[in-house]
Amino acid sequence: MAGSNPNAKPMNLTLKVWRQKNRNTQGGIVDYQVKDISPDMSFLEMLDVLNEDLLRKGEEPVAFDHDCREGICGSCNLFINGRAHGPEPGTTTCQLHMRKFNDGDTITIEPWRANAFPVNKDLSVDRSAFDRIIQAGGYISVNTGGTPDANEIPIPKEIADRAFEAATCIACGACVASCKNASAMLFVSAKVSQLALLPQGHVERKSRVENMVAQMDKEGFGACTNIGSCAAECPVGISLENIAILNREFLSAKATSNNLA
Amino acid sequence: MFPDSKIPEGPLAEKWDKHKFNVKLVNPANKRKYDVIVVGTGLAGASAAASLAELGYNVKAFTYHDSPRRAHSIAAQGGINAAKNYQNDGDSVYRLFYDTIKGGDYRAREANVYRLAQVSVNIIDQCVAQGVPFAREYGGLLANRSFGGAQVSRTFYARGQTGQQLLLGAYSALSRQVAYGKVKLYTRTEMLDVVIVDGQARGIITRNLITGEIEQHAGHAVVLATGGYGNVFYLSTNAKYSNATAAWRAHKKGAYFANPCFTQIHPTCIPVSGDYQSKLTLMSESLRNDGRVWVPKEKATAERLRKGEIRVNDIKEEDRDYFLERKYPAFGNLVPRDVASRNAKMMCDEGRGVGSSGLAVFLDFADAIKRNGADWVSQKYGNLFDMYAKITGENPYEQPMRIYPAVHYTMGGLWVDYNLQTTVPGLYATGECNFSDHGANRLGASALMQGLADGYFVIPYTIGDYLAQTPPKPVTTEHPAFKEAEAEVRARVQKLMSINGTRTPDDFHKALGHIMWEYCGMARTAEGLQHAKAEIQKLRREFWSDLKLVGTEAEMNQALEKAGRVADFLELGELMVDDAYHRNESCGGHFREEYQTPEGEALRDDENFTYVAAWEYTGDNQVSALHKEDLRFENVKLTQRSYK
Ligand SMILES: Cc1cc2nc3c(=O)[nH]c(=O)nc-3n(C[C@H](O)[C@H](O)[C@H](O)COP(=O)(O)OP(=O)(O)OC[C@H]3O[C@@H](n4cnc5c(N)ncnc54)[C@H](O)[C@@H]3O)c2cc1C
Ligand code: SF4
Ligand code: FES
**B124 in contact with A, Cβ within 8 Å:** yes
Smallest Cβ–Cβ distance between B124 and the set A70, A121, A150 belongs to A150
Dist CA B305 CA B312 (whole Å):
7
Its sign, for the CA torsion B52, B54, B55, B56, is positive
**B47 in contact with A, Cβ within 8 Å:** yes
| CB-based contact B125 A141, cutoff 8 Å | no
| Nearest ligand for residue B164 CA | 1
Minimal C-alpha gap between B6 and chain A (Å): 25
Are B498 and B555 contacting, i.e. CB atoms less than 8 angstroms apart? Answer: no
Give the number of other CB atoms < 10 A from CB of residue B43.
Answer: 35
| CB-based contact B67 A70, cutoff 8 Å | no
For ligand 1, say whether the CB of B195 is within 6 Å of any of its atoms. Answer: no
The DSSP bridge partners found for residue B191 are B206
Q: Does domain A11-121 have CATH number 2.30.30.140?
A: no
| Secondary structure (H, E, C), B311-361 | CHHHCCHHHEECHHHHHCCCCHHHCCHHHHHHHHHHHHHCCCCCCCCCCCE
Q: Which residue from B38, B174, B188, B226 has its CB within 8 A of the most atoms of ligand 1, so it is best to mutate?
A: B226
Element containing residue A31 per DSSP (H, E): strand A28-37
Atom of ligand 2 at shortest range from CA of A172: 8
pLDDT at B1: 64
User: A residues 48-77 near B, CB within 8 Å?
Assistant: 48-49, 51-52, 55-56, 58-61, 63, 65-75
**B278 in contact with A, Cβ within 8 Å:** yes
User: B residues 136-165 near A, CB within 8 Å?
Assistant: 136-142, 158-159, 161, 164-165
| CB-based contact B67 A136, cutoff 8 Å | no
**B131 in contact with A, Cβ within 8 Å:** yes
Are B634 and B602 contacting, i.e. CB atoms less than 8 angstroms apart? Answer: no
Active-site amino acid positions of B? 337
**B54 in contact with A, Cβ within 8 Å:** yes
**A202 in contact with B, Cβ within 8 Å:** no
For ligand 2, say whether the CB of A175 is within 6 Å of any of its atoms. Answer: yes
pLDDT at B324: 96
Tell me, what DSSP letter sits at residue B83?
-
Dist CA A138 CA A194 (whole Å):
10
pLDDT at B574: 98
pLDDT at A3: 41
ipTM: 0.96
* Mean pLDDT in consecutive groups of 10 residues from the start of chain B, 644 residues: 89 98 95 98 98 98 98 95 97 97 96 98 98 97 87 93 97 98 98 98 98 98 98 98 98 98 96 92 89 96 94 95 95 87 93 93 96 92 89 94 96 98 98 97 95 98 97 96 98 98 98 97 97 98 98 98 98 98 96 91 95 97 95 94 75
Minimal C-alpha gap between A187 and chain B (Å): 14
For ligand 1, say whether the CB of B40 is within 6 Å of any of its atoms. Answer: yes
Cα R_g (chain A), whole angstroms = 21
Residue A172 phi/psi, 5-degree rounding, is -80, -30
For the stretch B390-434, pLDDT in tens is 899 999 999 999 999 999 999 999 999 999 999 999 999 999 999
Dist CA B444 CA B337 (whole Å):
8
- CATH 1.10.1060.10 maps onto chain A at 128-256
Q: Which residue from A73, A80, A124 has its CB within 8 A of the most atoms of ligand 3, so it is best to mutate?
A: A73
For the stretch A193-238, pLDDT in tens is 999 999 999 999 999 999 999 999 999 999 999 999 999 999 999 9
- Closest residue by Cα to residue B128 from A201, A67, A115: A201
Nearest-Cα residue of chain A relative to residue B281: A70
Nearest-Cα residue of chain A relative to residue B180: A135
Dist CA B271 CA B281 (whole Å):
8
Ligand 3 midpoint to CA B235 (Å): 16
Are B231 and B242 contacting, i.e. CB atoms less than 8 angstroms apart? Answer: yes
Beta carbon pairs, A and B, within 8 Å: 239
Residues A128-256: name the CATH superfamily. Answer: Alpha-helical ferredoxin (1.10.1060.10)
Ligand 2 midpoint to CA B181 (Å): 27
Q: In this structure, are strands A11-19 and A28-37 parallel, antiparallel, or unpaired?
A: antiparallel
| Secondary structure (H, E, C), B10-64 | CCHHHHHHHHHHHCCCCCHHHHCCCEEEEECCCHHHHHHHHHHHHHCCEEEEECC
For the stretch B592-623, pLDDT in tens is 999 998 888 889 999 999 999 999 999 998 99
Smallest Cβ–Cβ distance between B75 and the set A72, A135, A157 belongs to A72
For ligand 1, say whether the CB of B39 is within 6 Å of any of its atoms. Answer: yes
For the stretch A68-98, pLDDT in tens is 999 999 999 999 999 999 999 999 999 999 9
pLDDT at A1: 32
Tell me, what DSSP letter sits at residue B298?
S
For ligand 1, say whether the CB of B162 is within 6 Å of any of its atoms. Answer: yes
Q: What is the pTM of this model?
A: 0.97
pLDDT at B446: 96
**A190 in contact with B, Cβ within 8 Å:** no
Distance of CA A231 to the CA centre of its chain: 11
| CB-based contact B210 A120, cutoff 8 Å | yes
Atom of ligand 1 at shortest range from CA of B191: 42
Dist CA A55 CA A32 (whole Å):
13
| Domains of chain B, earliest start first | 35-265+409-467 (3.50.50.60), 266-407 (3.90.700.10), 480-610 (1.20.58.100)
- CATH 3.10.20.30 maps onto chain A at 11-121
Dist CA B491 CA B343 (whole Å):
47
Element containing residue B196 per DSSP (H, E): strand B189-197
Are A40 and B393 contacting, i.e. CB atoms less than 8 angstroms apart? Answer: yes
**B80 in contact with A, Cβ within 8 Å:** no
The DSSP bridge partners found for residue B195 are B203
**Can you tell me whether residue B66 is helix, strand or coil?**
coil
Residues in chain A with pLDDT < 70? Answer: 1-7, 257-261
| Secondary structure (H, E, C), B213-251 | CEEEEECCEEEECCCCCHHHHCCCCCCCCCCCHHHHHHH
Give the number of other CB atoms < 10 A from CB of residue A57.
Answer: 9
| CB-based contact A72 B273, cutoff 8 Å | no
Are A35 and B262 contacting, i.e. CB atoms less than 8 angstroms apart? Answer: no
Count, in order, helices (H) and strands (E) of chain B: 19, 19
Ligand 3 midpoint to CA B345 (Å): 29
**A214 in contact with B, Cβ within 8 Å:** no
| Nearest ligand for residue A173 CA | 2
